[in-house]
Amino acid sequence: MEHDELSVSVTVMGRRFTMKSSRANEAAIRRAADNLDKMIFRFQKSFGSRDMVDPVIMAALNVGTELEKMKENTAYKDHQLVNALEDIDSLLDEYLHPTQNSL
């Protein structure tokens, strides 16, 4: 294990899970585990069942849906950024080479 990596232990649904991660991701992993545990518990209360498959799947679907929405939003923002940079590039080109562009 590299010096920047460590083993992070978290508890979800009363079970302990350990994974290797960079130090930079440790806090995010702990928050994710805590949020997941709370979400599963809320779904478990909603379903009122001892079967844990339904609440776990519902939590996974919620997390997956949020991830997909974030990916879409990021792709849209990336597209906007590329367009803005192309506009800036065109303006700089016109400013730096005025005679070339007027031909």
Give the tens place of pLDDT for each residue, 1-42. Answer: 456 899 999 999 999 999 999 999 999 999 999 999 999 999
The whole-number average pLDDT for the span 73-84 is 88
CA 70 to centroid of chain Cα atoms = 7
The pLDDT value recorded for residue 1 is: 46
When divided into structural domains, the chain yields a total of 1
For strands 5-12 and 15-22, give the pairing.
antiparallel
Give domain status of residue 63, yes or no.
yes
Measured CA distances, 17 to 7, 20, 25 (Å): 10, 10, 15
Angle between helix 26-47 and helix 53-96 axes, rounded to 10 deg = 140
Backbone angles phi, psi at 4, to 5 degrees: -90, -5
Give domain status of residue 78, yes or no.
no
Give domain status of residue 83, yes or no.
no
Instruction: Tell me the residue range of the domain where 23 lies.
Output: 5-71
The pLDDT value recorded for residue 23 is: 94
Give domain status of residue 86, yes or no.
no
**CA contacts within 13 A on the Cβ side of 65:** 6
Give domain status of residue 29, yes or no.
yes
